[in-house]
Amino acid sequence: MSDLLERLRERGWRMTSQRRVVAEVLDGDHVHLTADEVHALAARRLPEISRATVYNALGELVALGEVAEVSTDGRARRYDPNAHHPHHHLVCSGCGTIRDVHPAAEPLDDLPAEERFGFTVSTAEVTYRGLCPSCA
Amino acid sequence: MSDLLERLRERGWRMTSQRRVVAEVLDGDHVHLTADEVHALAARRLPEISRATVYNALGELVALGEVAEVSTDGRARRYDPNAHHPHHHLVCSGCGTIRDVHPAAEPLDDLPAEERFGFTVSTAEVTYRGLCPSCA
DNA sequence: TTCTTGACTTGGACTCCGTCCATCGTAGGA
DNA sequence: TCCTACGATGGACGGAGTCCAAGTCAAGAA
Ligand SMILES: [Mn+2]
Ligand SMILES: [Mn+2]
Ligand SMILES: [Zn+2]
Ligand SMILES: [Zn+2]
């Protein structure tokens, strides 16, 4: 994750203690935190960090392409630091657990020209749903 | 759509003027209205219908499997009367237009066993994004 | 090191979407 | 026609996210 901090600095991202803890909280695999969860974790290191600052930092990380926004449930958006490895998501309908998954085929290729209605289609996001081992 | 009203009556759905206009508003293809849009359209026929009633009716139609809930952006949920024909969605990143689409392959089949992490996977929803002809 | 300044942070107000609840009204069976 | 359980109402409430004016500070300049 110091890779991330390094890249951000090189790209001219002004480094503040708030932005640093937000970036640090987003480290790891299968991390899909909501903004409020990021805020709660960040506040353990920096108690007075505000919600607005967390939203600002997350929005900028998304704009920079360093973090992906995921909305699997119509509720709060989730923030995914695994933005450099394209993937899709498998969500447990019971407990909400989210796993990164990699389908065998590229989903975009499965949409025939006659089903594109003249659109320039650029991305496909797949959400798989089911029950995880503990919930089954 | 009188099919829908008929089915609902047979299934014991108590018919009220409010529920009737909600069901009628949801008629057509490529219809993906938000609850507030349904409310606005319903209010043209039945001016005093309340938001709570629209939410109740939509929730019940979803529970009955007659309407599907779709959330393509992190914003308001949309309600899709085309629930008896499984399909996916193509969304214009410019204007938000939504089209129903049918991929050539079943997306569920593209998820290998070793990418299922022991889950019992039951559904896959695909959201394709791109620009519609007018926005391109 | 200190100065300077534009960028960042803050907290609160605000909006939007959705839920909840006590009360009132009515669909539909007796 | 009458009864009553189920549905409708609207206002309060909660969660998620945005916006803003005022205060603070990172980092380059000197
Ligand atoms: Mn992910
Ligand atoms: Mn649809
Ligand atoms: Zn689970
Ligand atoms: Zn468009």
Please write the tens of the pLDDT for every residue from B2-34.
578 889 998 999 999 999 999 999 988 889 999
**What is the number of structural domains in chain B?**
2
Q: Which of A25-29, B80-84, B86-90, B127-131 has the lowest mean pLDDT?
A: A25-29
Q: Are residues A62 and A24 in the same domain?
A: yes
Instruction: Classify residue A96 by its DSSP letter.
Output: -
- Rounded to two decimals, what is the model's pTM? 0.92
CATH, residue A104: 3.30.1490.190
Give A-chain residues touching B99 at CB under 8 angstroms. Answer: 117, 119
pLDDT given for residue B2 in this prediction: 59
User: If you average pLDDT over residues A9-14, what whole number do you get?
Assistant: 92
Largest CA-CA distance found in chain A, in angstroms, rounded: 54
Distance from CA of B99 to the nearest CA of A (A): 8
User: If you average pLDDT over residues B85-89, what whole number do you get?
Assistant: 96
**Is the Cβ–Cβ distance between B23 and B4 less than 8 Å?**
yes
Residue B1 pLDDT > 70: no
Q: Which of A8-12, A81-85, B33-37 has the lowest mean pLDDT?
A: A8-12
Q: Are residues B65 and B96 in the same domain?
A: no
* Residue A70 Cβ under 7 A from any strand C atom: no
User: If you average pLDDT over residues A55-80, what whole number do you get?
Assistant: 95
Q: Are residues A20 and A73 in the same domain?
A: yes
Does residue B66 lie within any of the structural domains?
yes
Does residue B23 lie within any of the structural domains?
yes
Of A74, A119, A127, the CB nearest to B90: A119
Instruction: Classify residue B93 by its DSSP letter.
Output: T
Q: Tell me the two tokens of residue B91.
A: 């969304």
Q: Are residues A92 and A76 in the same domain?
A: no
Q: Are residues B53 and B14 in the same domain?
A: yes
Does residue A49 lie within any of the structural domains?
yes
Cα(B95)–Cα(B97) distance, rounded to whole angstroms?
A: 6
Q: Are residues A10 and A76 in the same domain?
A: yes
3-state secondary structure of B85: coil
Q: How confident is the model at residue A4 (pLDDT cuts 50, 70, 90)?
A: confident
Does residue A135 lie within any of the structural domains?
no
Nearest to A11 by CA among A84, A61, A68, A79: A61
Query: Which residues are in the CB-under-5-Å shell of ion ligand 4?
Result: B 92, 94-95, 132, 135
**Is the Cβ–Cβ distance between B83 and B66 less than 8 Å?**
yes
User: If you average pLDDT over residues A128-135, what whole number do you get?
Assistant: 96
Q: Tell me the two tokens of residue B95.
A: 């204007």
pLDDT given for residue A69 in this prediction: 96
The domain in which residue B96 lies consists of: 88-130
Name the residue with tokens 């049918």: B102
Q: How confident is the model at residue A58 (pLDDT cuts 50, 70, 90)?
A: very high
* Residue B52 Cβ under 7 A from any strand D atom: yes
> Backbone dihedral region of A74: left (phi > 0), alpha (psi from -120 to 50 degrees) or beta?
left
**Is the Cβ–Cβ distance between B80 and B69 less than 8 Å?**
yes
CATH, residue A74: 1.10.10.10
Cα(A120)–Cα(A116) distance, rounded to whole angstroms?
A: 8
Among residues of chain A, what percentage have pLDDT more than 70? 99
**Is the Cβ–Cβ distance between A73 and A85 less than 8 Å?**
no
Largest CA-CA distance found in chain B, in angstroms, rounded: 55
Q: Are residues B8 and B75 in the same domain?
A: yes
Q: Are residues B31 and B50 in the same domain?
A: yes
- Convert the pLDDT of each residue in B42-51 to its tens digit: 999 999 999 9
Whether B129 and A132 lie within 8 Å, measured CB to CB: no
Q: Are residues B9 and B61 in the same domain?
A: yes
Does residue B67 lie within any of the structural domains?
yes
Identify the residue whose Cα has the smallest distance to the C1' of C20: B52
User: If you average pLDDT over residues B116-121, what whole number do you get?
Assistant: 98
Does residue B125 lie within any of the structural domains?
yes
Residue A118 pLDDT > 90: yes
pLDDT given for residue A2 in this prediction: 59
pLDDT given for residue B29 in this prediction: 83
pLDDT given for residue A45 in this prediction: 96
Does residue A38 lie within any of the structural domains?
yes
Q: Are residues B104 and B65 in the same domain?
A: no
Q: Are residues B27 and B54 in the same domain?
A: yes
Does residue B135 lie within any of the structural domains?
no
Among residues of chain A, what percentage have pLDDT more than 90? 87
Q: Are residues B61 and B115 in the same domain?
A: no
Query: What is the count of residue pairs from A and B with beta carbons less than 8 Å apart?
Result: 130
Q: Which residues pair with B127 in a beta bridge?
A: A125, B89
